Chain A
Amino acid sequence: MSEALLIKDKEIAVPGEIIAQGMGFVPNKGVFRDGDVLVASKLGMVSVEGKVVKLIPLSGKYIPKAEDKIICQMTDVLLTGWRVDTNSPYSAVLNLKDATNEFVARGADLTQYFALGDWIVCKVTNVTSQKLVDISTRGPGLHKLQGGRMVEVNAYKVPRIIGKDASMISLIKNATGCEIIVGQNGLVWLHGAPSQELIAAEAIKKIEAEAHLPGLTDRMVDFLKQKTGKTPTMNEQHQTTEGSES
């Protein structure tokens, strides 16, 4: 059988759809081989690099992964720590020794550190095969979140929201003057003037909706210019507040 790419780069493939024919192509994430054809195993955008064919997922739940920086909410206080909601199918445990340097006496009231309903930025330290998740709030930029507002987006759109070298997020930060923290689990925390927070939230929702379309940065510059009345810049670098881009 001759070699042919049936779905081109940047086009949408649905599960079970044949993307390419022939043994010359190599399947990667989201693609599997069946005989001499490559088949999509989820809904996503086809990405072809040389002979390697992969799918960029467009939807799906966040699954915790070690070293991810995520935003979580306290759901329960345990004997020596907290149970937190990670916006994924699996809750995580924040152990007391991963939360504070202080000495805490046995039986002390843990809610003086984190109360139920508190939001935190934390790092996933370990995930087991059965998806038991450990997190830590010790490290640069990891702390409790006070005030501000939360925006929920799809976890697979997070790399687009951050942008290459955090370009997209610093664009919004500079335009609105908000402090923004993006968790890999799809929660985005905004803090600034209320009117600016609303613009930032709208901008993030717009990126989520148009993440798979080209020319996004230009459209966002126009959008922010129209909303804030000034031309945003994107040269400034922020180091601590973004999660890593995958």
Chain B
Amino acid sequence: MAYAKRFDGRKFDELRPITAKVGIIPRADGSAMFQIGKTTAYAAVYGPRDLHPKFMQNPQTGILRCNYNMMPFSGHGERVRPGGSRRSKEINMVMEKALIPVLDLKDYPNSVVDVFVELPQTDAGTRCAGITAAAMALADAGLEMKDLVAAVAVGKVGDKVVSDLIYDEEAYEEEGGATDIPVAVLPRTGEITLLQLDGGISPSDLKKALELAQVKCREIYEIQKKALKQKFVVKA
């Protein structure tokens, strides 16, 4: 049987319901929350600040350091083992690489900007939610940025090109299974700063999926923009 209807009843190119909020962690220099369906990401930015150990310092520029953490109770069934893992180490790296192209830390030599992404509840698409929240938090921290970063997973479930996969879809096993492609886009120029692929997909479907990602990231960007401006609206 072909994948004719999505498990949660969405259209194939529809995102899950999104809420975004900026400035939720008072002690952080910048913070944001991004919730897409059952996936929730909190991002807190500290810095630029003093970097230790000293050998990590770069006299040419400040550095960006990301820390991705799924909370123990956040997963799908099984308890997530706390602390770093091979997976979280990879995600730290791809998040840094997705975010650094928009940042300019040349004015902050020897310093570090720390980004902490915490996920209290997850249902796939965590690295994308993390990047989206982190971009808002970095803007909130007042850092020089040439653009925001919006991220979403696209892919293929059965024979359908879809956006924003959930866990059950990623686990789909019939008709060639599922393909998961997290994509991060700079909304103004359309440049891609994160592109990973897990599964198999034909070149023509990949093209379709990436076009879909561009459209969906722009939708997410509008929500990011609104959340950032909402922080400065007069409270009645």
Contacts and interface: CB of A to CB of B under 8 A. Distances in A.
Say what secondary structure dominates the interface of chain A.
Answer: loop
Interface in B167-186: 186
B129 to A, nearest CB: 19
A125 interface: no
Interface stretch (B46-54, B80-88, B193-201): B46-54
A63 B147 contact: no
Interface string A123-142: 00000011100000000000
Contacts of B145: 15-16, 41-42
A17 interface: yes
A89 B228 contact: no
Contacts of B50: 89-91
Say what secondary structure dominates the interface of chain B.
Answer: loop
Nearest to A154: B142
Nearest to B107: A63
A39 B146 contact: yes
A14 B225 contact: yes
A121 interface: no
Contacts, number: 86
Interface stretch (B64-72, B108-116, B155-163, B208-216): B108-116
Contacts of A42: 139, 142-145
Given A15-B147, A17-B225, 8 more contacts: A16-B148, A43-B142, A57-B142, A59-B142, A89-B50, A89-B62, A91-B50, A130-B110
Nearest 7 CB-CB pairings of A with B:
A60-B142, A16-B147, A59-B142, A15-B145, A89-B111, A89-B48, A14-B228
23 contacts: A15-B102, A15-B146, A17-B188, A18-B188, A39-B146, A39-B147, A41-B104, A41-B144, A42-B144, A43-B228, A59-B29, A59-B30, A60-B29, A61-B142, A63-B108, A89-B47, A89-B48, A89-B50, A129-B109, A131-B109, A131-B111, A156-B142, A213-B234
